[in-house]
Amino acid sequence: MKTIGLIGGMSWESTAVYYRIINELVREKLGDLHSARCLLHSVNFQEIVDCQKAGDWERAAGILAESAQGLERAGADCILICTNTMHKIADQVASAISIPLLHIADVTAAQILAQGKRTVGMVATQYTMEQGFYIERMKRHGIEVIVPEADDRATVHNIIFGELCAGRIKESSREQYRRIMQKLVDRGAEGMIFGCTEITLLVAQEDVAVPIFDTTYLHAEAAIRFALEG
């Protein structure tokens, strides 16, 4: 079994979900008391949020690259950045290490295509919905991504940072997400990307009429495939 390196803490609420899923999948595949070989570097999320707000992606890239290098030195065989938004600087992190970085958008795109979908909706942070790094990468896979209108993008973003990252789950926010996702379905979405790793804490398949693509689960699943199969 290879060792998985996790850059987490963005937020730790969703990083805990990664850890649970990764170990559940290993137990499911290997049985008995098997669990994953993994290393975690959990950053101070406030430092990352400050970089995001200031648009200082270079500093953020330096923080995550240093984390990745530390994980590689500690024995990690691959790296996961446990957040969608920070894949904006994934190329910089990947270039700082000599082991594979498993890109969350690529593993999500693979599952979308495997289900025969070409047009999908996405709910995520405003950074992910409004800056081209994620949507353009999906386009390279032949996938069109539909995002909410401006007011709804702000609502989705504020719920993520104001509630989900702090571990607060509100039924009123779940209803907001249901409404926003249905609007994307009405606009032609054949599936729905949960494009922030915290979103799975709030909504699930029963909350939307089309297949979901839970990036947290898909990313963790890809890590296990790598660890067990190479």
Residues designated catalytic: 83, 196
Which residues are CB-contacts of 195 (< 8 A; sequence separation ≥ 6)? 84, 122, 123, 124, 125, 128, 129, 134, 215
Distance CA 176, CA 154 (A): 12
Distance CA 212, CA 176 (A): 17
Which residues are CB-contacts of 32 (< 8 A; sequence separation ≥ 6)? none
Collapsed DSSP state (helix, strand, coil) of residue 138: helix
Check residue 101 and report its DSSP letter: B
How buried is residue 59: exposed, middle or buried, by Cβ count under 10 Å (0-12/13-18/19+)? middle
Q: Do the Cβ atoms of 17 and 84 come closer than 8 Å?
A: no
| Cα–Cα nearest to 73, from 161, 3, 163, 150 | 3
